[in-house]
Chain A
Amino acid sequence: MALGFADPFDALFRFQRALDQRLDSDWLEDATSGVGAFPPINVFRQGNDFVAVIEMPGFSKDDLGLEVRGNAIRISGKKTIDYGGNASVHRRERVSGGFDRTITLPVQLDPDRVIAEYRDGVLALSLPRAASDKPKAIKIS
């Protein structure tokens, strides 16, 4: 399904619906352990390649680790929250701690071309498909 953004007024609404439709879809083919583990991950297709977008506000880049091998991505990190010494807490909704999550995609990746960017609390991974895994057009004679 392609997303059209002709009308800016309901474009966001339609985008949110499109995200809902793929909620916990079987695209990962149950290959992943830890569905529902931290951090929450969205995966998108961009042509032949993929993009993973991960919401994880309040981390420091230095405290994040990323490994890619074959079709597996491993992300780990830790987040600390400091209220300062003599603060009295009125409301506490943010959580801190550590995580280590691996997801396995149903496609082979090219680890050398993976690009990771952490900005505004969102980690975006550009995941190019391995050349061996790219679909080839077959000429019909």
Chain B
Amino acid sequence: MAPLQDLEVQQKRELEKKDESTIPARVFLPNTDIFETDDALTVVMEMPGVNREHADITVEDNVLSVAGRIDFSKYEKLQPVYTEYNVGHYRRSFSLSPNSFDEHKIGAEMKDGVLTLTLPKAERLKSRRIPLK
């Protein structure tokens, strides 16, 4: 097996379009992996501090939107003395190609701050294997 690569800190990126927020708090972009298999597109988002009750996933007009809220009341009695990162809610959207996915069969799973969305491909989009004669 190849030796483990050293993990490096990824600076948290902020959401730039604050179109929906009415309060000045910062919103962060979840680090996201997207990959495709024969049957589905999988979207994996890292939202540390967000539990399954506080993750909202919507698909509307071919836009997949994910919002994750953290529970910052846990910090109420704590005074910061040394910090290396900031905390906040998460939000991110992706455009999907129209009519490509079965919106009613999207699967969502949340584990250890990682949200995994499985978007099954619509029948017509599944790649067809061409048999060789």
Contacts and interface: CB of A to CB of B under 8 A. Distances in A.
A89 B78 contact: no
B12 to A, nearest CB: 9
Q: How large is the interface on B (under 10, 10 to 19, 20 to 34, 35 or more residues)?
A: 35 or more
Nearest to B76: A5
A22 B25 CA distance: 17
A121 B33 contact: no
Contacts of B80: 18-19, 21-22, 42-45
State the main secondary structure of chain B at its contact with A: loop
Nearest to A37: B9
Central interface residue in B6, B10, B33, B47, by most chain A CB within 10 Å: B33
State the main secondary structure of chain A at its contact with B: mixed
Interface residues of A, number: 65
A10 B72 CA distance: 12
Given A44-B80, A120-B113, A122-B48, A20 B9 contact: no
Contacts of A94: 31-33, 44, 46
Interface of B: 4-10, 23-26, 31-38, 41-42, 44, 46-51, 72-73, 75-89, 112-114
Interface of A: 1-3, 5, 9-13, 15-16, 18-25, 27-28, 35-46, 50-51, 55-60, 78-79, 81, 83-84, 86-99, 118-122
